[in-house]
Structure 1
Amino acid sequence: MHNKILMAGLCAAAFALPLAWTSTASAAAGPGLQLPFPCGETWAGSSKSSAHTAGNEIDFNGSAGDGNGDLGRTVVAAADGTVVMSEYRTTDGFGNVIKIRHSDGTVTLYAHLNARSVAKGATVRQGQKIGTVGKSSAKYKMLAHLHYEQRTASGAIVPATFNGVRFGYPNQKVTSKNCGGSGNGTPPPDGGGGSGNPYTATQVCGAGFKEIDSAPLGSQGRVALLYSTSSGQNCVVTLRKNASGKAAMRAYLEVKGKARATGDGSFQYYAGPVKAKALRTCVKWGGAIGSAAYDSPFEHCD
């Protein structure tokens, strides 16, 4: 929550002196939690808001004093988990908010989002895009920023840790090590999406999905179409073969008669998953890695 005079830009002004990345681990480290922003990005965090009653909540801005310059920037999952909340809230002032429950029962919360990319019940992977930075709130006016919390299974807001290191309260600049992985900050063994990529299309889309079509994207990877008979959903994911660094990637799915859904950005391992219900309905699907692209006709209609 934020009071009516809170401005994320004022929080950002307190970031003039970044603290060093220390080696003090927290007892509430959770399942290898990482910064909720893409690999290599540096963000400034502050817990000084008067609305942060627990003292452990963090407001993140990417550029100190940059006003709404962070609006629309990518927010990713801090670790593998299940989305237990994805909604627009009015009573607490969170606006667009997502909560993810992780393997040990701990929860991470991401609030004031401009957009939400995952629904309640979805399984997400560490580093997967879940939304974008915003300033949504039905109660308060603010500049764009991410309000972030780490909570215990019982709901208590605890000091945040990133890559096993406790955040340097009240202010610290942190560089993201959220570079893809199995939820512990370390990529699992190779053998998934291709050479250098630990993920498969099924892992990304989740349990119940089976691959029904795919297309190569030059020598860089491929885009795959999957379907779940239990949910009637299609899922599209683009996978890189040689996943060193990051590359511009896209995955999209268009159900005939409906608007196209797209997941794009700069990613290391995959773009997507993009899901939509298409029971006995034609779909158009495709993706891209750099300049290599594939676009299907409307197909898979039964």
Structure 2
Amino acid sequence: MKFLRRALVALLGVAAVLTAAPPAGAATNPYTPTGVCGAGYRVISSLPAKTDDRREWGGVYLLYKSGGYNCVVTIKWSFIGVATDTFAGLYRDSEDSSQNLYDRGNFKYYAVVREYAPQCIKYAGWVGDRAGDGGTTAGAASGWGWCD
């Protein structure tokens, strides 16, 4: 009976360790928002990129550098190292939509856009689960703000 009890305790201990461990091959994105945007930028806002069912596949970050420069970067938390539809957008408060800046493509780690934008802005980003259009996306968008 003692042998059976010890075997059961040992088996439960192994099961607890296996269920608490991250999946084999789980990737961590080696890129950070400040590393992607460059020297002098600091994060001033961020939003999680979520699917309709609330899964978080990435982070969308707004960074600022003195002099009126902004950077928006979408960092993938899922599908890392796999080229999937990824987007970062910086919208300027203007009647002219050509003033808006986008970076969209099938990227493995992030999408980024940097630009001088001293007026009110908003930002957005998404991570898709496949290359090109279609599939599921996890997105986020801010409201207008950061007006100087």
1:216 aligns with 2:48: yes
Shift of 1:211: 0.3
Shift of 1:298: 1.2
Q: Which amino acid aligns with 1:293?
A: G
1:196–1:244 CA contact under 8 A, matched in 2 = no
**1:199 partner SS:** coil
Shift of 1:278: 2.2
Aligned residues: 105
Q: Which has the higher contact order (CA 8 A, sep 6+)?
A: 2
Q: Which amino acid aligns with 1:225?
A: L
Structure 2 gap segments, 5+ residues each: 1-26, 51-55, 129-136
Q: In the alignment, which residue of structure 2 is the partner of 1:277? A: 116
Q: In the alignment, which residue of structure 2 is the partner of 1:206? A: 38
Counterpart CA distance in 2 for 1:287 and 1:249 is 8
Counterpart CA distance in 2 for 1:247 and 1:255 is 26
Q: In the alignment, which residue of structure 2 is the partner of 1:256? A: 93
Runs of 4+ in 1 over 2 A off after TM superposition: none
RMSD: 1.3
Q: In the alignment, which residue of structure 2 is the partner of 1:103? A: none
1:255–1:276 CA contact under 8 A, matched in 2 = no
Structure 1 gap segments, 5+ residues each: 1-194
Q: In the alignment, which residue of structure 2 is the partner of 1:101? A: none
Paired residue for 1:294, among 127, 140, 143? 140
Shift of 1:249: 0.3
Percent identity of equivalent pairs: 39
Shift of 1:244: 3.4
Shift of 1:267: 0.6
Per-residue CA shift, 1:209-265, capped at 9, x if unaligned?
000000001221110000001x32010000011313221100010111152110000
Where do 1:1-302 residues align within 5 Å? Answer: 196-218=28-50, 219-229=56-66, 231-242=67-78, 243-257=80-94, 258=96, 259-272=99-112, 274-279=113-118, 281-290=119-128, 291-302=137-148
TM-score, scaled to structure 2: 0.67
**2:34 partner SS:** helix
Q: Which has the higher helix share?
A: 2
1:282–1:299 CA contact under 8 A, matched in 2 = yes
1:288–1:294 CA contact under 8 A, matched in 2 = yes
Q: Which amino acid aligns with 2:104?
A: D
